[in-house]
Structure 1
Amino acid sequence: MSSQYLTLYKMIVLYMLKRCDVPLSKAQIYDFILENEYTTFLTLQEVFSELAVSKLIIEKTVANRTFLEITSEGDETLKFFGNRINPSIRQQIDEYLRANSMKLRNEASILADYRKTGDNEYTAHLVARENGQDIVELNFPVPTEEIAQSICNNWQEKNQEIYQFLVSQLML
């Protein structure tokens, strides 16, 4: 792989991170880049690795998802080399971020995972974030993995209703 192309892919990732107002997950970036057939999965793995090693991005794993944030060094690098991104690619990125803004925000703000905590016991861990701060964090011990999965799935789908219900009940 030519270093010229690797540099371009790095700039695309940095541009996406810079233009989005919430942290993006690796999966979200994979989706955009692979869907548009800019490069392969393996090349993109190399890009993420090189960006992290050179401290242009920070990786944070939350609820089994790895979120990426651009660092000040990454921002400076983008200022120097960002002009290598074709304007049509920039436009595609901007349109993707605009069209998917609510979905991207929810995926970064609504987190759910579970883990085995003992014999016949799992704990579902649910979090809602706003502006980088946890506004709700719930832990539910349950007897089966299936129940834990169901709780996590329902949190992803019904978090706003659940949050509104909790607030209304607590304000009585």
Structure 2
Amino acid sequence: MAEPLTLYKLIVLYMLNKVDFPLTNSQISEFILDKGYTTYFKLQQAISELIESGFIKEEAAHNRTFFHLTEDGAETLVFFKNNISPAIQDDINRFLQEKQYDLKNETAVKADYYRNTNMEYSVRCQVMENELPLIDLTITVPTEAEAEAVVSNWNKKNQEIYALIMTKLL
């Protein structure tokens, strides 16, 4: 069996390898912490070391961080996958199978804002599928409070808004 920190890294790599979308820190943490494999701080250390070594890459949005498996991470997993016990692999596979729709939906919807050159706020709202945007909408609002409201409402109402736009355009 692998050393504990190495095992946590392999679990993260295995999880990212089993899905065709990025996972958030909270999604990875939910599995590992709920199963009692390690503490939050040890998990964050493992993730940090995976990023530093180039095995995963992070994509930061305003309120979330998404993790993607890199080619180097996938190659490493091929060599060391057998260090993850079949029981842990089964736990991961079951977790991903049971929660796949929720996990994918949570990471497919993105919204972030930034201050633009006009000193207003641009809010970028997206729905992604297979790392390609189904919709990519940028809205400019005058205040940060309004930008935060757009982000919040996009996360809650994106399906309704997407359907309305498609109905109007088609």
Q: TM bucket by the smaller chain?
A: 0.7 to 0.9
Please state if 1:142 is matched with 2:138: no
Q: After superposition, what is the alpha-carbon deviation per residue over 1:37-56, rounded to whole angstroms, capped at 9, x for unaligned?
A: 21112211211121122222
Counting only pairs closer than 5 Å after superposition, residues 63-74 of structure 1 correspond to structure 2 as 63-74=62-73
Equivalences for 1:89-100 in 2 at 5 Å?
89-100=88-99
Structural mapping, 1:48-127, within 5 Å:
48-117=47-116, 121-127=120-126
Q: Which one is further off, 141-150 or 64-73?
A: 141-150
| Structure with bigger RCO (C-alpha 8 Å, 6+ apart) | 2
Q: Which residue of 2 aligns with 1:155?
A: 154
Where structure 2 has 5 or more consecutive residues not aligned to the other structure, the ranges are none
Letter in 2 for 1:127: Q
Partner of 2:163: 164
- Distance in 1 between residues matched to 2:93 and 2:54, nearest whole Å: 24
For the 8 Å contact 1:63–1:111, the answer to whether it is kept is no
Q: Please say which of residues 11-20 and 43-52 is displaced more in the overlay.
A: 43-52
Deviates more, 1:65-74 or 1:43-52: 65-74
Instruction: Give the conservation status (yes or no) of the 8 Å contact 2:114–2:123.
Output: yes
SS in 2 for 1:69: strand
CA distance in 2, matches of 1:114, 1:107: 18
Count of aligned pairs between the two proteins:
169
Deviation, structure 1 residue 18: 0.6
Contact 1:111-1:126 at 8 Å conserved across structures: yes
Partner of 1:21: 20
Tell me the residue number matched to 2:32: 33
**Contact kept in structure 1, 2:141 and 2:147, CA below 8 Å:** yes
2:42 maps to amino acid: T
One-letter amino acid of the counterpart of residue 135, structure 2: V
Q: Distance in 2 between matches of 1:120 and 1:13?
A: 40
CA distance in 2, matches of 1:71, 1:147: 36
SS at match of 2:158: helix
TM-score, normalised to structure 1's length?
Answer: 0.86
Uncovered stretches (5+) of structure 1, i.e. residues with no partner: none
Q: Secondary structure at the match of 1:100?
A: helix
Distance apart, 1:125 and its partner CA = 2.1
For the aligned residue pairs, the C-alpha RMSD in angstroms reads: 2.2
| Structure 1 residue 161, shift from structure 2 partner | 1.6
Counterpart CA distance in 2 for 1:61 and 1:118 is 21
> Normalised by the size of structure 2, how large is the TM-score?
0.87
Counterpart CA distance in 2 for 1:97 and 1:7 is 21
Larger mean CA deviation between 16-25 and 153-162 belongs to 153-162
